Structure 1
Amino acid sequence: MPVELGSFETIIGMDWLVKYQAVIVCAKKIIRIPWGNKTLIIRGDGSDQGNETRLNIISCTKMQKYMLKGCHVFLAHVTTKETEDKSEKKRLEDVLIVRDFPKVFPVDLSSLPPTRQVEFQIDLIPGVAPIAWAPY
């Protein structure tokens, strides 16, 4: 009883494979699982000639109901996520405030900031505890 899934790349836990006596045939991209007097074959070799099987998504509640009824359940949802390069979309030069103050946002940060005319510091009195006020 072949089950065609298009292509897949997945990791199935060793405990699950042992429990169901599954056999992975890497060269053929299939998984064989004994099921009663038949063998369930999950294919990932593209032998469906481009007619990919579409898996319907069901809710967790519905899945739990099937499991409580004693149904044998095999559930897999394998997706790919495309990573997009956000560095091309957002650039520092596109921010208005950055363009207004080029000396504050230099392109090259090869050294420490230049010495300023006024050095800012807060002089603390030794032994004085900080003020414990709520910020609101």
Structure 2
Amino acid sequence: TRGPSEGYSYPVCTTCGRRHPGEYCRAAGTCFKCGQAGHLQKDCKKNTTAGTSGQADKKPDVSPINEQPIVSEFPDVFPDELPGIPPVREVEFNIELIPGAEPISKAPYRMAPV
């Protein structure tokens, strides 16, 4: 199909006010594949093929963290329970300010004359 740069423009959609092909509008939540409202084409149940039917809904098999080889090799790095939230520490850093000093008012780049 030709787009606006080739001299063709799509009609203005009565739902969203934008120009796009087709009779269905994304703003209305209408699927471009089946035409039903309530979902988009990427979430359409009719979007599966015969070879991959139902495979998209399956979750990959994931073993528990303690069964991972790297976790069992380093038990001191991966404890069974977390020790808790670290204690509150006093920060030994500060910036001394001069009383009555104003913030710097300088342009970060060269400004055009007015």
Q: Which is richer in helix?
A: 1
TM-score by length of 2: 0.25
TM-score by length of 1: 0.22
Q: Which is richer in strand?
A: 1
Higher relative contact order (CA 8 A, sep 6+): 1
